[in-house]
Amino acid sequence: MKKTTKLYALIKGKCPKCRRGDIFTGTIYGFNIQRTNYSCSHCKQRFEIEPGYFYAAMYVSYAMNMAEMIAAGFATYYLSGGRLDFDAIWIYVVSILIVSLLLSPFNYRYSRIILLHWLSPKIKYNATFDRE
């Protein structure tokens, strides 16, 4: 019996309890809008443990977004050759907006994965479910 690693489950968006079932439907950048499954198809763990549980993921997502915007700001500064004049404001605004938009499906997915895997003491990995 081979156990699933936590890293694999995190990257692939697998259930934190069994690391087998998918948390989301669809792919992160696919044509079908990704949704969060109600419960794990493998071990039946409910993902939204209580009503409104995913509001907490919004704070995680917010923190991720802030870090990404700061990174985009530094990248723009570097790529524009260190421009900080008034006309360069629009380069910053546009590049930060584009980065935020492109990463929003990523943030949606990984904020919930982080919440379920790291910030949910009620859900623990249970190796007995980690099998076919």
* Minimum distance, C-beta of residue 15 to Zn ion, in the bound complex (Å): 3
Rank residues 17 and 117 by Cβ distance to Zn ion and give the closer one: 17
The DSSP code sequence of 11-80 is HHTB-TTTS-SBSEES-TTSSSPPEE-SB-TTT--BSS-STTTTHHHHHHHHHHHHHHHHHHHHHHHHHT
Whole-number Å distance between alpha carbons of 95 and 90: 8
Restricted to residues 7-36, the positions that interact with Zn ion (CB under 5 A) are 15, 17-18, 21
Rank residues 43 and 69 by Cβ distance to Zn ion and give the closer one: 43
Q: Per-residue x/- marks for Zn ion, 32-71, CB under 5 A?
A: --------x-xx-x--------------------------
Residue whose pair of structure tokens reads 């439907």 in the numeric block: 25
In the complex, the residues that contact Zn ion under the rule CB under 5 A are 15, 17-18, 21, 40, 42-43, 45
